[in-house]
Amino acid sequence: MIEELLRDLSGQRAAGPHPSFTVFDLWKSFELIAERGSIGRKSLAEELAIGEGAIRTMVSRLKNSGMISTSKIGCSLTDRGSEIWKKFQMVIPRKVEIARNDLTTAPYNVAVQVRGRSERVRNGLEQRDAAVAVGGRGAVTLVFKGGRLIVPMVSEDLSKDYPAAFHQISERMKLEESDAVVIGGGENPKSAERGALAAAWTLI
């Protein structure tokens, strides 16, 4: 449902030219509006680093779909928008910045927890490529199985092979069996976050 909704709102299913915003911009917009209560279009454009024309189109689509309302103070989630955001959070319960550790190489890193999607992870290459495609340095994908954090083709037990990374992730996330974790790296916080979300999207 989440995948279909974001694709529809971003225009990826429609014929003709696509607007200059992506599913990740929509995702981040929901997060910003939910966290702040309301946010103006100019602030949204600055946070997402996209043009105000694209923001107008995106806000119009969100409003027409009943996800947000607009006023002089900015954009706010409607009851329907709040319900959709809760569903987002059920799939992506946590997104946290983590320090460079023994598993990462980028200056900035963001870890995204994806609930119950470990079976969709093959070897992690798809997530790495997705992160690079949106400007990230890359991504590392982990799965939580049998009480262990595993990096496919790299480590069968993160706690033994990469203890610093294990402690950062286990302390910041309440992992459940079959969860996946994607760590996106970048040259700055925004590229790391965008890479992590793009990588997580491949599992949704």
8 Å CB contact between 152 and 121: yes
Over its length of 204 residues, how does the chain's per-residue pLDDT go in tens digits?
666 777 777 765 444 444 577 888 888 899 999 999 999 999 999 998 888 889 999 999 999 999 999 999 999 999 999 999 998 899 999 999 999 998 998 999 999 999 999 999 999 999 999 999 999 999 999 999 999 999 999 999 999 999 999 999 999 999 999 999 999 999 999 999 999 999 999 998
Residue 113, classed as helix, strand or coil, is strand
Check whether residue 19 and residue 81 sit in a common domain.
yes
* Domains: count for the chain: 2
Check whether residue 193 and residue 104 sit in a common domain.
yes
Check whether residue 97 and residue 182 sit in a common domain.
yes
Residue 11: per-residue pLDDT: 65
**CA-closest candidate to residue 153, choices 188, 187, 123, 186:** 123
- Between the two ends of the chain, the Cα-to-Cα distance in Å is 10
Strand partners, 148: 145
Residue 16: per-residue pLDDT: 40
Contacts of residue 186, defined as CB under 8 A and 6 or more positions apart, other chains included, come to 106, 107, 108, 109, 110, 135, 136, 137, 192, 193, 194, 195
Check whether residue 101 and residue 35 sit in a common domain.
no
Burial class (CB in 10 A: 0-12, 13-18, 19+), 175: buried
User: What range defines the domain where residue 183 resides?
Assistant: 92-201
Contacts of residue 22, defined as CB under 8 A and 6 or more positions apart, other chains included, come to 10, 134
Q: Which domain CATH number covers 26?
A: 1.10.10.10
Residue 17: per-residue pLDDT: 40
Q: Which domain CATH number covers 158?
A: 3.30.1360.30
Check whether residue 164 and residue 121 sit in a common domain.
yes
> How crowded is residue 52: how many other Cβ atoms within 10 Å of its Cβ?
12
Query: Last residue of some domain: 71, 88, 105?
Result: 88
Check whether residue 127 and residue 195 sit in a common domain.
yes
What's the half-sphere exposure (Cβ side, CA atoms, 13 Å) at 52? 4
Residue 128: per-residue pLDDT: 96
Strand partners, 141: 182
Check whether residue 46 and residue 137 sit in a common domain.
no
Check whether residue 83 and residue 97 sit in a common domain.
no
Check whether residue 84 and residue 110 sit in a common domain.
no
**Torsional sign, CA 1, 23, 195, 69:** negative
Query: Last residue of some domain: 88, 104, 136?
Result: 88
Residue 19: per-residue pLDDT: 52
Query: Last residue of some domain: 88, 114, 146?
Result: 88
Check whether residue 119 and residue 171 sit in a common domain.
yes
Check whether residue 142 and residue 169 sit in a common domain.
yes
What's the half-sphere exposure (Cβ side, CA atoms, 13 Å) at 86? 6
